[in-house]
Chain A
Amino acid sequence: MCSYITEKAPIFGSAKGRNGWMRVDTAVVYYDHPVHVPLDHALNIDFVDSRSKERVAVELSAASARELVRRIQAALDSGDAIHLGSGEEDPLHLARAM
């Protein structure tokens, strides 16, 4: 496609990059030409620290990305079932409320 069409999500988390662990605050998601994975098009995710501009990049086949979405949802559902009501507030929600 070679377009600049992207989805951006604010996130609260950490990722391990070339210089070790770092905070990441933005996920940039796009379906376009990858740099490394041997596919013409891929679902690409950049986990970005907007202060340092560092990123951790992932390039996935479309089927892999859809499977990952399902597994993330499944993991979240089971986590909610176990930890719901623990009183831990998600910092992303707190940031939005401020």
Chain B
Amino acid sequence: MTYRNIICDVVPFTGHNGETGEAYYARPAGPGPFPSVVLIHHVPGWNEFCIEAARKLAHHGFATICNNLYFRMGDGDPDDIGARARADGGVSDEQMLGDVSGAMAFLRAQSNSNGKVGVIGFCSGGRQTYLSACRLPNVDAAVDCWGGRVMADPAALNAKQPVAPIDYSKDLNCPLLGLFGNEDKEPSPEQVNKTEAILKDLGKNYEFHRYDGAGHAFFDWSRPSYRPEQAVDGWKKVIDFFNKNLA
């Protein structure tokens, strides 16, 4: 079911350590009850692609919040704030988990929520989605879109990202959808295969889809990596997965 009437606002939410941040909140108009989704933005920041993706999910009936992971970095153009975050080594996994948890609480507190909340993320947000699905106790469904560094070289770990998400796989406690491009380098098809093998061994509920002719970020219409055919199919899989697991 789709909703032509949607409502979009920038709203305050309570994130990690009780700090108040800003979030884009797009939801279908109407009494509901609606399932909800937290959309985790990518390294470049709280930008137009992620905001538009939130509106797309709202169009398909999901009350979607895209919280700005960089709200502590000050105001400015999303790309400038993203550059500041990068120079600062990014956000820590603990802080990110606190913010996603706060965004989930915001969604569940809405009077027209059906109580179920999924998480989706793109690129670095895919990694953070995988981590959220393993570390947070109340995620009902998760979609990892080409999350890089789920499997991380130990040399790439640091104080802010101290543990590779794959090492938490035994704690994955919700259905997981993964979408990947076979021409991607991060994650490479080999890394995706290894991740799948681990999930299979652990008996986890997952489904992975791999796309030929696509690399990284093939949903992003603003970049040369955009692959319309694969993106249309991928979005359909996302919507179907959330309908199945959050309705």
Contacts and interface: CB of A to CB of B under 8 A. Distances in A.
Contact of B87 (A2, A32, A40, A46): A46
Size category of the B interface is 20 to 34
Contacts of A53: 74, 76, 80, 84
Nearest to A26: B87
Interface string B81-100: 01111110110000000000
B156 interface: yes
A39 B224 contact: yes
Size category of the A interface is 20 to 34
Q: Which DSSP category, helix, strand, loop or mixed, fits chain A's interface?
A: loop
Interface in B221-242: 223-225
A2 B42 CA distance: 8
Given A4-B90, A33-B43, A53-B74, A46 B83 contact: yes
Nearest to B220: A33
A90 B161 CA distance: 37
Nearest to B127: A2
A3 B74 contact: no
A8 B87 CA distance: 8
B186 interface: yes
Interface in A16-46: 26, 28, 30, 32-33, 35, 38-40, 46
A35 B42 CA distance: 12
Contacts of A6: 86-87, 89
Contacts of A57: 79-80, 83
B15 interface: no
A50 B33 CA distance: 47
B156 A38 contact: no
Interface of A: 1-6, 8, 26, 28, 30, 32-33, 35, 38-40, 46, 48, 53, 55, 57
Interface of B: 42-44, 74, 76, 79-80, 82-87, 89-90, 123-124, 148-149, 156, 160-161, 185-186, 215-217, 223-225
Given A38-B224, A40-B223, A46-B87, 17 more contacts: A2-B43, A2-B148, A3-B148, A4-B43, A4-B86, A4-B124, A4-B161, A6-B86, A28-B86, A33-B44, A35-B79, A38-B223, A40-B216, A40-B217, A40-B225, A46-B83, A53-B84
17 contacts: A2-B42, A2-B123, A3-B43, A3-B156, A4-B86, A6-B89, A26-B87, A28-B83, A28-B86, A28-B87, A33-B43, A35-B79, A35-B82, A38-B223, A40-B217, A40-B225, A55-B83
